Amino acid sequence: MIRSYRRAADEADLKAMTQGKGSLVRNVLMVSLPIGFVLFLGMYWLTRSHVAALVVAGAVALGSIWSNVRFFKTVGARGRSGSEQSTVDVMEVEATRVLDIEHLGSHGPAYCFFTADGTALLLVGQWLMEVPRFPSLSFRLFRWADDGKPIRIEPTGGPIEPEQSTVALQGRYTNGDIEVFRAQPQTLQQDLENAFGRARAPE
């Protein structure tokens, strides 16, 4: 069974979003500016030009600062109650089986959960390795409603060892990190093809 509903983001969602990301001021002072300074010294040593060193170091430092500002601006928008960006999709999952399928390069792991009614949930990505006691047959999955990006997983059952499978994701598949589709373990490769496959462009 997979039951879905929506609610406003709460403190746990925002905490998960910023976990390990520090703060804006800390990142600028401890990361962006030191990197810029080191690059300035390196470029000056190579070129003996203050201008060239300043341009390169300044561009990198400003890019890093802008990336941090944009991220924490998004966090602020997520935390404003009533905004479109603050809505969370919650999926309560009760599965009967889970397969560990072959993923693409560094885009793993990839788990496929099956429910008694023939629905499957595909989860893909390194974000899964950050979840303790997972995979589990019973859990809550939280993702942002506006872009579908995962926030966190709350296991509500004990951890299990997933079944190893030779079923593989393909480069032409259009699946995202979280997908719900109709599938059975015995026909999973074809079910993935039907749900996410696309014809190759003519050469």
pLDDT tens track, the chain, 203 positions = 899 998 888 877 777 666 656 656 676 677 778 888 888 888 888 888 888 888 888 888 888 877 767 666 665 666 566 666 678 889 999 999 999 999 988 778 999 999 999 999 999 999 998 888 899 999 999 998 887 889 999 999 999 999 999 999 998 999 999 999 999 999 999 999 999 987 544 43
pLDDT for the residue numbered 93: 96
pLDDT for the residue numbered 44: 80
Rounded-to-integer distance, Cα 2 and Cα 117, Å: 9
Task: Map residue 14 onto helix, strand or coil.
Answer: helix
Rounded-to-integer distance, Cα 164 and Cα 111, Å: 10
**Region class of 197: left (phi > 0), else alpha (psi between -120 and 50), else beta:** beta
pLDDT for the residue numbered 80: 62
Which residues touch 59 (CB under 8 Å, ≥6 apart)? none
User: If we measure between CA atoms, which residue out of 141, 108, 113 comes closest to residue 124?
Assistant: 108
pLDDT for the residue numbered 57: 82
pLDDT for the residue numbered 99: 96
- Which H or E run contains 192? helix 188-196
Number of H helices, E strands in the chain: 5, 9
Sheet with 138-144: strands ordered across: 2-8, 87-94, 138-144, 150-155
Sign of CA dihedral 147, 148, 149, 152: positive
DSSP state of 169: -
pLDDT for the residue numbered 41: 86
